[in-house]
Structure 1
């Protein structure tokens, strides 16, 4: 089960709306959906969550390229909406979105830190598999008051905690 919502920053504060993702097939579709919720070049954040398994954020501002963060790429890559987000972050060709994954350093670890456990839990990272950890722009919300370490530490009610930190907790709960 998915939960998806849009938070649009306006001059009056944040406005939230739940959103249907039925017609979303690409990241461009998702970004267009977000831009439609903005009245100018305002910040819009798309929240997507799948039953506590993973969450993703897409941030658009005007016509700038969207910014993406996914809390657990391996779990997200197994779902249609998560795959849209992870494909953007991991790159590669259409047939192998995880191509050249080792060169990307997107697992959130520093040099010398242990790699996150793989999706199958045995510590091996099958060739071409998405990492079992966060990928994307972990600084996606820094200018809004949520630091990279704070974002990376979120687990259970991540979207609620993010909305609270942005001052939009009540508006998000209204659409949940």
Structure 2
């Protein structure tokens, strides 16, 4: 199950809104959606999580490029929402490379239901040509300092797992507003 929300910083604190990602196909679309939530180019955070799988934070500050943090790239790569965040640049790949495994995505926003045990088995040389499992790490990717100035250090962010979004919201002083859209 997925949850996605926008947290927009205002003069009066944080405002949260539930967000639907069904029409979002690219990081640029997501950034545009986030910018629409802010009236004065303030900071907007897009928080996305797949229950017991991974979480991602996208930070938009005005017209600057989005900053991204994903807790588990390999888990996120198996989801359509995670695929939005995992840009070639974030993964250190050449743009337009053909190591995207779109066949593993079920584009209704859910996992295809089959775990990928092949990535954990280093002795299996017959990977059916799947290079995406090899190129996406089973670890965090992105900017771990994305929330440093907001009260969540890079070490704290890397250590989060279950209930990560609530922990982040609590550190920001936004747990009550996030809970209203949950």
Fold match, TM over 0.5? yes
Partner of 1:26: 26
> How many Å separate the matches in 2 of 1:119 and 1:67?
31
Task: Provide Cα deviations, 1:34-90, integer angstroms capped at 9, x if missing partner.
Answer: 000001110000001111200001000110000000000000001011011112511
8 A contact 1:43–1:60 mirrored in 2:
yes
* TM-aligned CA deviation for residue 2 of structure 1: 1.1
Q: Which has the higher contact order (CA 8 A, sep 6+)?
A: 2
- The count of residues paired between Structure 1 and Structure 2 equals 157
> How many Å separate the matches in 1 of 2:75 and 2:41?
32
> How many Å separate the matches in 1 of 2:161 and 2:135?
22
* TM-aligned CA deviation for residue 92 of structure 1: 2.6
Note the aligned Cα RMSD (angstroms): 2.1
Partner of 1:96: 99
Counterparts of 1:25-64 in structure 2, within 5 Å, are 25-64=25-64
Structure 1 position 165 matched with structure 2 position 171: yes
> How many Å separate the matches in 1 of 2:61 and 2:137?
28
> How many Å separate the matches in 1 of 2:150 and 2:40?
18
Please list every run of 5 or more consecutive structure 2 residues that lacks an aligned counterpart in the other structure: 102-116, 125-129
> How many Å separate the matches in 1 of 2:140 and 2:160?
11
4+ long deviations beyond 2 Å: 91-98, 118-129
Partner of 1:81: 81
